[in-house]
Amino acid sequence: MTDLDIAMTRTGAGEPVVLLHGIGHRRQAWDPIIELLATDYEVIAVDLPGFGESPGLPPALTYDMATTIENFAQTFADLGLDRPHVVGNSLGGAIALELGAQDLVRSVTALSPGGFWKPYDRKRALLLLGSLRMSAMVPESTLRRIAHSPRLRAQAMRQIVAHPERLTDEQFVADALCMARSPGYKPTARAAAKYDCHAVPVVPTTIAWGTRDRVLPPRQAAIARRRLPAARHLSLPGCGHVPMIDDPELIVQVIRLGVSRQDAAA
C-alpha cells in the first residue's frame, strides 16, 4: 500500500471521530462543529485525496470505492486509530457506510450519503455539481465580488446550503477555489457515475437527510431506509446538502446520538 499524504485537522481528546467531506469540498466544511465535538472526542477532519490540501493519488491508484476503503484502512493504521467513529457527508457518507460494512469503524453517521439514487437522480446530481464547478472557474476577483454580495452569494450557493449567509466571504471563496481546482474531482466524479451504495454496515449506523437538500433530494432517504432497515434514520429540518453549515448544533446532536448507539451496543 502506498503511503498517502493526507491533510487533516486533529484536535480534542477522547474516542476518535473521523470527519469525511463530500466531492469538491474540503475538511473546513466541518469547522462549524469541530470545536463543539472536541469537548468530548478526539476529532480528525481530513481532506480526501485530491481535495483541499491533500495531493492527488499516485498514478498507480484509482479513485474507486474499493481503493478508497483500502486507503482509509491504511490511513487509520498510520494515525494509530483503532476503529474510530466515522462521520461523512455526501461522498463522505458513502465512504463511511462502506467502512462500516468492512467493520473498520466503531459507528457510522452518514449525512445525505451518496449512492442511494436512481439513474436519473445520479445523472442530475453529477450534472449539477459539474455546473457548479464550471461556474467556479472564474477569476478569484470575480469570486470575491460574488462573495461580497448577499444576493449573488445566495444565488451561487442555494443548491448546496439552505443558509449561505452563514458562510464568510473567505469561506465562500476558498470553497469555490477548491471545487474549481481539486485534481481529484474528475476521477472521483467518474467513479461516482458507476457507484451505487449497497453497503450493509455491521456497526451501529445513523443516516440523516436534510429536508432542503437539492443535490441529493430527501426522497433518496426512502431508498436508504429500504436497503438499511437496521439503521437509525433521521430528518434534518431546514438543512441543505451540507447540514453542518446550516445547523451545527443539530448535527453535533446527531453525531453524539450515533456514537452513543455504539456505546449502548457495547
Mean of pLDDT over the chain = 95
The pLDDT tens digits for 105-150 are: 999 999 999 999 999 999 999 999 999 999 999 999 999 999 999 9
pLDDT band at residue 233, thresholds of 50, 70 and 90? very high
Look at residue 248 and tell me whether its pLDDT is greater than 80.
yes
Q: Residue 4 has what pLDDT?
A: 80
Helix axes of 31-38 and 248-265: crossing angle, nearest 10 degrees: 50
Structure confidence at residue 11 (pLDDT): 98
Residue 2 included in any domain = no
Residue 103 is assigned to a structural domain of this protein: yes
> What CATH number does the domain containing 152 carry?
3.40.50.1820
Domains: count for the chain? 1
The whole-number average pLDDT for the span 201-225 is 97
Query: Residue 55 is which amino acid?
Result: P
The per-residue pLDDT for range 38-84, each reduced to its tens digit, is: 999 999 999 999 999 999 999 889 999 999 999 999 999 999 999 99
Question: Is 205 inside any structural domain?
Answer: yes
* Cell 452563514, residue located: 166
**C-alpha to C-alpha distances, 194 to 56, 114, 252, 260, nearest whole angstrom:** 20, 12, 32, 34
> Minimal CA–CA distance to 242: which of 162, 185, 174, 177?
162
Range of the domain at 69: 8-265
Distance CA 175, CA 216 (A): 19
Report pLDDT for 78. 93
Q: Inform me whether the pLDDT recorded for 257 exceeds 60.
A: yes
In the structure, what pLDDT confidence band is assigned to residue 261 with cuts at 50, 70 and 90?
Answer: low
pLDDT of amino acid 1: 41
Give domain status of residue 100, yes or no.
Answer: yes
Asked if the model's pLDDT at residue 266 lies above 70, the reply is: no
Predicted TM-score of the model (pTM) = 0.96
